[in-house]
Structure formats: structure tokens, C-alpha cells
Structure 1
Amino acid sequence: MRTALLLLLLLALAAVPGSLFPQRSADPNGVVQHFAQDPAMAELLDTFQLFDVYSSVWFSAIYLLLFLSLIGCVVPRIRHHVTAIRAAPPATPKNLGRLPAHQRDIVTNVPLLDAVDEAERELREARYRVVRAQESDGQISLAAERGYLRETGNLIFHIALVGVLITVAIGGGFKYTGQRVLVEGQTFVNSRLAFDSFEAGRFVTDDSLPPFSLTLERFTVSYVTDNVNALGLADAFVADVSVSSRAAESRTSARIEVNSPLSVDGSDIYLLGNGYAPRITVRDPSGAVVFTDTVPFLPQDANLTSLGVVKVPDGLARQVGMIGFFYPTRATTSAGASYSSYPDLVLPVLTLNVYVGDLGLDAGIPKSVYQLDTSAMTEVAGGESGVAALELTPGSQAELPGGLGSVELDDIPRFASFDIAHDPTQVPVLVAAIAALVGLSLSLFVPRRRVWIRATQLRGAVQLEYGGLARGDDPQLLPSVESLVRRIATRLTRTTPKDRS
């Protein structure tokens, strides 16, 4: 048990990095930002699997050791508990007066056997296991015991913990989670290749993913406008979507909000984040379109000052990359630096730093759409190039340096980031958690007590001597024995108690 408790504490400590660092399974964008801000440190953290804490080797090792320790703790205790339940209550001690709770009562006009029968009946009604014994000197004693539910509850609690471990260990192989960014009007089809990032258990196959499609029809954010102290804070995020699934005969409309996921064919769809995705069009010198797409820009602050990357590998004389800053409501500091003063589209401006050279896309190495490797590129607009960054407003156009062509900002739809998760362990874990709570309650609130009653025939009366003993600290032991004396007394004709101690 000490080993299990130590491992449980160690498991809790091992889970702490999961809340300190973004996890790929829940916040892939946060991991990308870590690599963008400090690649060396991010590589070091990734070496120790701190971006995948809950699936890391060291976390799994602690998890497995805790499981084995709990099994080694519970199995012998179950065997011992079953043996104890089947055993008879301990025989009545010779000297009941030494017990923590001791009472005597004398009843008259009641035969000895009748007094014992009534006492036994009362004990059984109080849910005691009772054994009657005939003692050598003519006395009759009752040995009673109750409270085995306390140990039963303790075992239920530990078995439930083992159940949680088994469920998560095995059921985790059938769960998957993936993230996808959708711009208003875009459709997502639930397949492995359609996710921006995807993690699955070892038993998940492409065929096991339920076939459904999700279209983001409209994403709406409402902001606080009637409170100066909270001006610009978002108070509601609503994603209006349409869904086509195997279970539905036709496409249905639905709404996803924060903490209000949508369930489709056993998968839950959560709303994670949002931002703007300006629609950018790039043309060659002749006016032919060589690139047009909505580009999600990652928010950098609460007012949605956002950063994005545009890559144009083909269609122009040279490969072009652009790093853009989008300001929903542009404002400038006294030093001339731009920032967004409000998260809604009041005065939207897009600025672009332009690079030409090798985008590094021909090496066959996957590249993040949110990062631009400028190591083999030359900055020709913005930054230290000596040429002002391109500045666009909705519907405007700017010429690319060197006669490469032009770039336009068409419109500015919103995007929403969704987490699609399937977790078959939820119901079993809930059942195990409820069982653990019930077991813990039994182990805390059910007292373990033993009571003995010795009946002695006196001249014209019967003396009933009571003794009580509790396992552990039980402040209610003496009141409980006193209450038992009173209840038995109501069944019998008794005189004023003598020698009550």
C-alpha cells in the first residue's frame, strides 16, 4: 500500500508538466508557437516528451508500476476479507468490563432464554452478524459483529482505481483526437488525411473512423460593448455548422459553443480557438491568378493582432514567401508601431513582409504552414530591406517588388479551430469513478464494531452485560451501545438499572 501511495503521488507530480507545456493532443498550435519562439528549447523539451506527457515513456512506466502495485495490494486483501466475512464473530471475552464501552442491565419477570432471544433479535435487526454460545457456568452469550462494509468499500475503491487504469490503458488504444482549422464555408471530412494534426491509439485504423462531414457555415463572436472596464472582451463564441453523417438521412444544422460540443457518430467536436483568415490573391505580371486562398492568421494577443504566412512556390519568376501581420482594428503607438486596439473588424489592415528565394518545399521535408524558413531567402519588402512593407485593406491591391506581380486582400472571413475526439473510455471511467466514490464513502462512514452480550440468571431476574469494541477510533461507540441497551430494554420488562458503569 505504501508503494501504491508513493506511485500515485509520483503520477500526480508527473502530470504537472502536462499543464505547464502545450500538448500536441490538445493544443498543437501552442506547440508550433513554442518551436517558432525558441526552437532550441522546444527541441530539448520534445526530447523529454514534455509536449506528449501522457503518452511518454516515463509517464507510462509510472502508470504501469502503479497498476501492478495496486493489483498486488488488492488481491491479498480480497482473499483476507472473504475469509474474515465467512468466519464467526470472536467469542465473548471473559471480562467485558475491560472493554471501552461497558453496560449492565437487570430485567425481572423474564426467562433467561426469552431475554437472550429478544437481544439476538434486536442485534439482527441492527444488521449485526450474531453467534449464540452456551457458556460452562450456565450463562448464555451473544457475539455480534457489523461493519464489514467498511472494508468492502475500501476494496471497491481500490478495485475501481484498477478499473480506471485498465480502462484507460486498453480503451486508450481505441480513442483518437485530431484538430482541424476551418474557415467559414469550408468543409471537413472525417478521414486521417483531412486533419491538421491527428493522434490515435494503436487499434485505430482508417476504416474505424466514422464517416461524416462538417461544414462551418458561420462563426460569430459577440463582444462586450456596454462596460468600459470590459470593452472588447468576448462573451460568446458560436460556430454554426452543418453536418452530414451515417446516422442522419439528410444534412442537419447544428451549433457548437465553448463547453458545448457536438456529438456525431460517437465523436465529440469541440470548439477550441478562432481568428481571422484573410483571403489573399496573388497575380503574375500579366494578371493571371497564381495563388488564391484563405490563410489562417494565428492570434498573438487578446485584440487578435495576428501572424500568418503566405507561400507562393509556383507561377511567378521566383518563389515568394510573405510574413503577414493582421490588425482587425489598426492603431499605432507614438513610435509608429502598429497594433490592434479592438478584436472586431473596425479598421482592418494587413501588412506583408516579402521574401524571395528558396521556400525549401522541394526537399521533401514537411513544412509548417504557419512558419516561413527565410534562411535561403532574401527580404525585399519590410523589415531591414529598405522598402516599406506592403499594406492592404479589404479590396485593395499592392505591387510585389521587382515586378513579380501583385497581391490583393479580397475579404476577411473568420476561422475556427475544432478538436474532434472519440473516447470509448468515458462511460467505463465514469462508472469506475462512481464506484470509487461509493466505496470511499462506505470506508469513511461505516463503523466497524463488535458487541457482546452475556446473560446471567440471577434469583428472580436476568442480568444482561454489554461490551462494545470498535476497530479504530469511533467516538460513537459508547452512545451506540447505550442505544442498544435502551432498545433491548423496551422489549423486556425491566427494573431500574443497577450497577450501571
Structure 2
Amino acid sequence: MTATLTSQPRKPKAAKRFRAFWRRWWHQLTAMRTALILLLALALAAIPGSTFPQRSISTVDVTAYFDEHPDLAPWLDRLWAFDVYTSPWFSAIYLLLMISLVGCIVPRLRVHWKALRAKVPDAPQRMSILPYHRVLDAGADANQTRARAVLKQRRWRTEVREHEDGTVVIAAEKGYLRETGNLLFHTSIIFVLVGVAAGSLMSWYGNRILSEDKAYCNNLQQYDEYGLGAWVDETDLPQFCVTLDEFDAEFTNGGPTAFDADVTYETTGDGGEVESGEYDLKVNHPLNIDGTNVFLIGHGYTAVVTYTDRYGQTQTLHQEFLSMDAALNSEGAFKFPDVNVDPATGAVDPDAEVGFDAILVPTFDDSTAMLLGSDPELNNPVLALTAYTGDLGLGDGLPESVYSINEDQIASGELEQVNDDVEVIGVGDAMTLPDGTTLTFDGVEQYAVLQVRHDPGGPVVLAGAVLLLLGLLPGLAVRRRRYWIRWNPDGTVETAGLNRNDFDGLDEECDELTAAIAPDYEPPGPSTDRSDQ
């Protein structure tokens, strides 16, 4: 008996199985359909970022959300609902989208580069099968030299081929800019994604209300509001200080027409050297210091008051007010926690603190019953005051607004209102409280709202926007097409055209080319029967 050995198929090696698995999923990831799905997923993932307060924008709002939803907020925090744009799941979608787009574009770039360098293909054996086809008589004046000149003048890529049987073909192609535009358009999305990511990780900003003749330095403690990127630390901020020397606002018909701030700045270099300068800061005309831009984004008024307590001690306060409308009617508060201290004993009465809710009206019209004015200029400024005495609640360590009296202290009875009606005083006037203390309205100053911003991703996003526009126009307007003209050995001349994209004007363009090459050619009318072509 003879034993027959049968060969068993060898199982693929683990490396081959891994490569096959990786290749399959790589093709899936780099498909344009996948990129569109990821783009949609990114848009959906950004919804929680606009629904819930974000720590990078306002930690105060996040704290308030925890206070209002003590049971739900911790669970949302575990899902990164308050740090959406730095969360692992958002970053994963973002990174996959970038990889998908790069995987889509790089192979197309390679194919497009080869197509640009490749020769225009020869005419088919039977040109009559093409969408556009014309046969010129043997006596047609279709000059080869003229044909080349016409096509070159109209920026067609051409290739001349001479066959052994005497046939001469000029092949022309046009419209590669369409694919170039498509590639630029998709590349621009990558630029935008990279720029937004760089801005989110490495940018920072700070807002500061700065009154005239006041200065601030670039540190977080001196900003009214700030935000830091994930990769930014307070020690990364450049060292400089800005002083608002003078601010001028111009109004016409109740509306602002120009803001102009004269500032002085000092910056400290890496070697410790100090440089200073002056700058005329205007809207959309920022001051640049060490790659950081200082913008003028707003304007308002600062009320100056002096409080005289029951022992004759005075305190002067410069308090910024927040505008409520276009007429700059503004609201604010004056808080005096360290008053009514007995100078003989130094005893402090915690229930003798004083606060005032106030409305600043730049132009008060006493001929009407309306408190709020309609003119933002300082023609007749007044303060409408409501006074409170008691415990302002500043000693509990909790953050609160400097523009209003603590409502919780009023509701709890810790603060009591001491005047029944709102009292209106002008500049130089004083409000007298029942205990004999007074608040004098000394005057009004102007302030500027400055925003300090460093965004390294901004230029990248701008480059992406420019690329998007440069790619969108040719991608929508340009059509790729081919045109051939062939001189046959029998003396006849054939022209043909092929549309590589949807293009209704192919016949008209090819007829125009044929007429330019053969001056005695007459294009057929719209009712011409082309069934024989």
C-alpha cells in the first residue's frame, strides 16, 4: 500500500493577518465617507460644550451649576461635560478626523501630481464615439501651426503625435485646476483643525476694566476674567504693564463713533531689560507686546464717591459701573466694609458696614419722570442710590459680584435697607443716612475695557480660510475636458471633445476651438442631425 501525502494549506502568519487587518481598517478610516461621519460626530460632540458652562471660560458659572444641581453635576463632571473641548472623547474624534483627512488627501495628491506630469492621452481609434465629434472637408484650412498656437494661447496642455501611417494628432487637455481646488479645499480643513487645536491648547486671554490714570500688569490676579489653554501656565505669561493715560469717546446722535485710548506700556525682556513706549489704542488697532495683542473692546464710566462715617473718617472709592443699554445707563455698587471703626478703642462693629446699590445716569433729564437717560455723554450725570447697613458678607470668603449688593445678605436680614425711596444725587451732592453718615458724589471718570489675547492658532486658521477660498472657487467653476484634432492621410480633419465632468457648454467650446483652428468651418445649428457622428 502506498501512502499518499496531502499538503495542508499553511495558515497565514500573525504578521500577515495583522497587516491585512490594519490595511482594511486604514482604508475604512481614510475613506471620504468616514471623514464626513467624523465631521458630523465632532459637531454633535460640541453640543455639550455650548449647553453646559465650561471651566476654560468661566469657573464661576461652573461653580454656580454645581450649587444648582448638586446631584447631577458630579456625574456630568465625570463625563467631562464641563471640559468638553479637552475631554478624551472629544480629542479622540478630533484626532481621528485629522488622520482621516490626511489619509484622504495624501494619496490624491500623489495621483494628481502624476496626472499633471503625464502626457495627454492620444485620440481613440474611433473619434465618433466621443460626445463631441466633427469631420472637416479635405479642403479645410486646418493648419497645424495655427492649431498649436490657438491651444497654447487658451492655456491648453497639448501633445503632438505623428503616427507611422502619416496621421497627425494634437491632443489637448484643460481643467486640472479643478482637482487642485478640491485638494486645497480639503487641505484647508486640516489647517483649520490644527489652528483651532493649537488655539485651544496654547492660547490664553484676560479681560480688564481699566480707569484713567490706572495701571495693571499681566498676571492673573489683576484680570477681571481670564482663560488659559490646557498647555498654558501662569508662569508662561509675558511680563508687561499697561497704564491708561487718557480715554476719549466720541458720540453722534446718541451712538458711539470713535474710541481712543492713549496708553503707556512697559515690558521686561528675558534678560531683565525694561522697555517702555506709548501707543494710541483704538478699536481693531491692537497693541502688540511680545506676540500678545491688547485690544480695546469696550468703554464705560467710573463713579467716584466719598463716604464719611459717624466718626468723621472718610473713604474715597473709584467704582466701575457696567452699562445696561446703548445710552450707557449703568449699574454698580459701593461697598464700605471697614467703616464706623471707633478711633479711640479700635472696636469694629460688624453690623455697621455700609453698601449702596446704584444706577449711574450720564445725562439725567429732570424735566421728565424718567430716571434713565437717552444720551451716553456726560451732560448731567446723577446717581440713584439705595443704602444698606449691616453685614455685607465679605468675610465669608465666597466670591461675589463687585457690581451689586449680595442679595442673600438682604434676604437673610443681615443687611437692611435704610432709605425708603431711591435717592438721586448729582455731582457735588451728598446723600445723608439716618445715622448722620454721608455719601458724596465726587464725579465721573471714564474707563476702557481691554482684552489681552495670545492665540498662536490664529494665523493657522487664517491660512486655512485663505486656502478654503482659493480652493472653493476653481473647485466649483472649473471643468476638466479634453480636445483632439486629427489630420488623416486622406486629407480629412477630425475634431473631438470629451467632458470629464458635468459641463453643458462642451459643444460650444469645442466648436469655438474648431472655428479658430479652421477659419472656414461653420458650426452646425442647434437643429443639426448628428446621428451620423
Q: Same fold (TM over 0.5)?
A: yes
The residue aligned with 1:229 is none
Report which stretch shifted further, 324-333 or 265-274.
324-333
Aligned CA-pair RMSD: 4.6
The residue aligned with 2:289 is 264
For the Cα contact (< 8 Å) 2:56–2:228, is it kept in 1?
A: no
Structure 1 residue matching 2:156: 3-state secondary structure: coil
For the Cα contact (< 8 Å) 1:156–1:439, is it kept in 2?
A: yes
Stretches of structure 2 lacking an aligned partner (at least 5 in a row)? 1-31, 341-348, 525-529
Structure 1 residue matching 2:320: 3-state secondary structure: coil
Which of 267, 281, 293 is residue 306 of structure 2 equivalent to? 281
The answer to whether the aligner puts 1:73 opposite 2:104 as a matched pair is yes
For the Cα contact (< 8 Å) 2:161–2:168, is it kept in 1?
A: yes
Shift of the 330–322 alpha-carbon distance from structure 1 to 2, 3 Å rule, reads farther
| Pairwise CA distance, 1:471 | 1.3
The answer to whether the aligner puts 1:236 opposite 2:258 as a matched pair is yes
| Pairwise CA distance, 1:195 | 1.4
Structure 2 residue matching 1:408: 3-state secondary structure: strand
The residue aligned with 1:184 is 212
Deviations 1:36-81 (A, max 9, x none): 9xx959x999979999987788876765554344234323322433
For the Cα contact (< 8 Å) 1:296–1:308, is it kept in 2?
A: yes
The residue aligned with 1:298 is 322
Q: Pairwise mapping of residues 211-360 of structure 1 onto structure 2 (< 5 A)?
A: 211-224=239-252, 232-245=254-267, 250-257=276-283, 259-289=284-314, 291-316=315-340, 317-318=349-350, 320=353, 322-328=355-361, 329-330=363-364, 338-345=371-378, 346-357=380-391, 359-360=393-394
Report which stretch shifted further, 61-70 or 472-481.
61-70
CA distance in 1 between counterparts of 2:288 and 2:375 reads: 33
Structure 2 residue matching 1:340: 3-state secondary structure: coil
The answer to whether the aligner puts 1:485 opposite 2:517 as a matched pair is no
Structure 2 residue matching 1:413: 3-state secondary structure: strand
| Pairwise CA distance, 1:162 | 0.8
The answer to whether the aligner puts 1:209 opposite 2:237 as a matched pair is yes
| Pairwise CA distance, 1:465 | 1.0
CA distance in 2 between counterparts of 1:7 and 1:235 reads: 45
| Pairwise CA distance, 1:90 | 3.9
| Pairwise CA distance, 1:171 | 4.6
CA distance in 1 between counterparts of 2:316 and 2:278 reads: 30
CA distance in 1 between counterparts of 2:260 and 2:88 reads: 38
Structure 2 residue matching 1:295: 3-state secondary structure: strand
| Pairwise CA distance, 1:99 | 1.7
Give the structure-1-normalised TM-score. Answer: 0.77
For the Cα contact (< 8 Å) 2:217–2:242, is it kept in 1?
A: yes
CA distance in 1 between counterparts of 2:280 and 2:180 reads: 46
For the Cα contact (< 8 Å) 2:56–2:229, is it kept in 1?
A: no
CA distance in 2 between counterparts of 1:121 and 1:233 reads: 62
Give the structure-2-normalised TM-score. Answer: 0.73
Stretches of structure 1 lacking an aligned partner (at least 5 in a row)? 226-231
Structure 2 residue matching 1:278: 3-state secondary structure: strand
The answer to whether the aligner puts 1:98 opposite 2:129 as a matched pair is yes
How many residues in Structure 1 have an aligned counterpart in Structure 2?
475
Letter matched to residue 239 of structure 1: A
Shift of the 51–308 alpha-carbon distance from structure 1 to 2, 3 Å rule, reads farther
Deviations 1:329-358 (A, max 9, x none): 345899x77433433331412413314125
CA distance in 2 between counterparts of 1:305 and 1:51 reads: 34
The residue aligned with 1:469 is 498
Structure 2 residue matching 1:251: 3-state secondary structure: strand
Structure 2 residue matching 1:103: 3-state secondary structure: strand
Deviations 1:349-407 (A, max 9, x none): 241331412514333x333323433424537654xx6744565433334444557x543
The answer to whether the aligner puts 1:373 opposite 2:382 as a matched pair is no
CA distance in 2 between counterparts of 1:44 and 1:309 reads: 34
Shift of the 24–347 alpha-carbon distance from structure 1 to 2, 3 Å rule, reads farther
